[in-house]
Amino acid sequence: MSFLSRLFATQPDPREAVRPLWHQVIELARTPDWYAECKVSDTVDGRFDMVTAVLSVVLIRVEASDELRPYSALITELFVEDMDGQLRELGTNDVVVGKRMGKLMAAMGGRLGAYRDAIGQDDPLAGLTSAADRNITFLDDGSASCVAGKLLAMSTRLAQLDDDAILAADNLQ
């Protein structure tokens, strides 16, 4: 959506169609079980890791549907918008935000690829455990297998939902 379109509100923002799904991704990533049971580090890094993990699982489901696939770019735009806002809220100055956003997007892309490969394996639990171990910041007693089990359960649950339920973010938990 162009700057002028947003400024003069000549068209509705197409991202509004996926905003409920984005909010659900954030809510799922903040679920206390990740941090209490699986011992993901409850820090900025750990929370980012969980947002990217949950977003990856959701994007994999969205990309699996011909009807939903076009929405994956809109969800990613909301991720970028949110991360940009978070960086600014943390006090990152304008000069550095672009570089940091580039790094965050590269991290998101790499993680999406890792989780996509893992879910597509014959043994997705083992693949997800390995991907979680490489991509999530844990406390000393953290458990990549705990995260992997929850991500696999989420993926299975999402696969059972129809496209309308995914887009509306109904019953994703």
Kindly report, residue by residue over 114-165, the tens digit of the pLDDT. 999 999 999 999 999 999 999 999 999 999 999 999 999 999 999 999 999 9
The answer to the question of residue 86 being in a domain is yes
- 30 within 8 A of 49, measured Cβ to Cβ: no
CB atoms within 10 A of CB 124: 19
The answer to the question of residue 84 being in a domain is yes
What are the distances in angstroms from CA 128 to CA 28, 119, 138, 145, 155? 17, 7, 15, 8, 11
- 29 within 8 A of 82, measured Cβ to Cβ: no
The SS3 of residue 148 is: helix
The answer to the question of residue 173 being in a domain is no
What's the average model confidence in pLDDT over 47-67? Answer: 96
Reported pTM: 0.88
**N- to C-terminal Cα separation, the chain:** 31
pLDDT in tens, 13-55: 888 889 999 999 999 999 999 999 999 999 989 999 999 999 9
Domain that residue 64 falls in: 18-168
The answer to the question of residue 30 being in a domain is yes
pLDDT (0 to 100) of residue 23: 92
The answer to the question of residue 95 being in a domain is yes
The answer to the question of residue 152 being in a domain is yes
Report the candidate in 157, 118, 148 with the shortest Cα–Cα distance to residue 38.
148
